[in-house]
Amino acid sequence: MHEGIDTATAARPADRRMRANALRMLAVDAVEQAKSGHPGMPMGMADIAEVLWTGYLKHNPADPRWPDRDRFVLSNGHGSMLLYALLHLTGYDLPLDELKRFRQLHSKTPGHPEHGVTPGVETTTGPLGQGIANAVGMALAEKLLADEFNRPGHTIVDHRTFVFLGDGCLMEGLSHEACSLAGTLGLGKLIAFWDDNGISIDGHVQGWFTDDTPRRFEAYGWRVIRDVDGHDAEAIDAAMRQALAPGNRPTLICCKTVIGWGAPKLAGSHDAHGAPLGSDEAAATRAALGWRFGAFDIPAALRQQWDAGAAGAIAQQRWERRLAEYASEHPALAAEFRRRVAGELPQGFSENCRRWLAGVATASNPVATRKASQLAIEALAPLLPELLGGSADLTGSNLTNWKASRTVTAEQGGNYLHYGVREFGMAAVMNGIALHGGYVPFGGTFLVFSDYARNGLRLAALMRLRSIFVFTHDSIGLGEDGPTHQPVEHAASLRLIPNLAVWRPCDQLETAVSWRSAVERRDGPTALLLTRQNLAAQGGGAERAALAARGGYVLAEAPGGRPDVVLIATGSEVALAMEAKETLAERGLAARVVSMPCTSVFDAQDADYHRSVLPQGVRCVAIEAAVPDPWRKYVGLEGRHRPRPLRRICARHGAVRAFRIHRGACCRRRGGCRGKFQSIGGNNGARLDAAAARSCGGERLRRAGIQRQQHGADPRHHAGGR
Ligand SMILES: Cc1ncc(C[n+]2csc(CCOP(=O)(O)OP(=O)(O)O)c2C)c(N)n1
Ligand SMILES: [Mg+2]
Mutate to test the pocket of ligand 1, among 175, 200, 209, 210 (most ligand atoms within 8 A of CB): 200
CB distance 268 to ligand 1 below 6 Å? no
CB distance 166 to ligand 1 below 6 Å? yes
**Which ligand 1 atom is the nearest neighbour of the CA of 168?**
15
CB distance 167 to ligand 1 below 6 Å? yes
- pLDDT of 444-494, one tens digit each? 999 999 999 999 999 999 999 999 999 999 977 777 888 899 999 999 999
**Which ligand 1 atom is the nearest neighbour of the CA of 270?**
19
User: What distance in angstroms lies between residue 268's CA and the mean position of ligand 2's atoms?
Assistant: 10
Reduced to 3 states (helix: H, G, I; strand: E, B; else coil), residue 441 is strand
Q: What is the pLDDT of residue 482?
A: 87
CB distance 185 to ligand 1 below 6 Å? no
Q: Closest residue (by CA) to atom 26 of ligand 1?
A: 127
Q: What is the pLDDT of residue 644?
A: 52
User: What does each C-alpha distance from 448 to 311, 368, 425, 453 come to in angstroms?
Assistant: 50, 17, 16, 10
The strand pairing partners of 418, in sequence order, are 391
Q: What is the pLDDT of residue 339?
A: 98
Residues 91, 316: Cα–Cα separation, whole Å: 15
Q: What is the pLDDT of residue 437?
A: 98
Q: Which residues of the chain have pLDDT under 50?
A: 1-8, 639-641, 643, 645-722
564 CB-side CA count, 13 A: 8
Q: Of 521, 350, 509, which Cα lies nearest the Cα of 440?
A: 521
Residues 239, 245: Cα–Cα separation, whole Å: 10
Dihedral-angle region of residue 44 (phi above 0 means left; psi in -120 to 50 means alpha; beta otherwise): alpha
Q: Closest residue (by CA) to atom 9 of ligand 1?
A: 78
Q: What is the pTM assigned to this prediction? A: 0.90
Residues 504 and 494 sit within 8 Å (Cβ to Cβ) = no
User: What distance in angstroms lies between residue 201's CA and the mean position of ligand 2's atoms?
Assistant: 8
Q: What is the pLDDT of residue 675?
A: 31
Dihedral-angle region of residue 35 (phi above 0 means left; psi in -120 to 50 means alpha; beta otherwise): left
Q: Closest residue (by CA) to atom 12 of ligand 1?
A: 168
User: What distance in angstroms lies between residue 99's CA and the mean position of ligand 2's atoms?
Assistant: 24
CB distance 128 to ligand 1 below 6 Å? yes
**Which ligand 1 atom is the nearest neighbour of the CA of 112?**
25
User: What distance in angstroms lies between residue 210's CA and the mean position of ligand 2's atoms?
Assistant: 12
CB distance 201 to ligand 1 below 6 Å? yes
Residues 181, 428: Cα–Cα separation, whole Å: 12
User: What distance in angstroms lies between residue 424's CA and the mean position of ligand 1's atoms?
Assistant: 18
Residues marked active site are found at 423
Q: What is the pLDDT of residue 480?
A: 81
Residues 595, 575: Cα–Cα separation, whole Å: 10
Residues 634, 643: Cα–Cα separation, whole Å: 20
CB distance 596 to ligand 1 below 6 Å? no
Residues 293, 26: Cα–Cα separation, whole Å: 11
Q: Which ligand approaches the C-alpha of residue 272 most closely?
A: 1
Burial per residue of 152-182, b for 16 or more beta-carbon CB atoms within 10 angstroms, e otherwise: eebebbbbbbbbbbbbbbbbbebbbbbbbbb
User: What distance in angstroms lies between residue 575's CA and the mean position of ligand 1's atoms?
Assistant: 48
Sign of CA dihedral 127, 129, 133, 136: positive
The gap from C-alpha 604 to its chain's centroid, in whole angstroms, comes to 22
- pLDDT of 281-300, one tens digit each? 999 999 999 999 999 999 99
**Which ligand 1 atom is the nearest neighbour of the CA of 76?**
15
User: What distance in angstroms lies between residue 693's CA and the mean position of ligand 1's atoms?
Assistant: 41
Q: What is the pLDDT of residue 696?
A: 26
CB distance 197 to ligand 1 below 6 Å? yes
**Which ligand 1 atom is the nearest neighbour of the CA of 167?**
16
> Where are the extended beta strands (E) located within 343-439?
367-368, 387-391, 416-418
CB distance 199 to ligand 1 below 6 Å? yes
CB distance 273 to ligand 1 below 6 Å? yes
**Which ligand 1 atom is the nearest neighbour of the CA of 273?**
19
Q: Of 22, 554, 520, which Cα lies nearest the Cα of 296?
A: 22
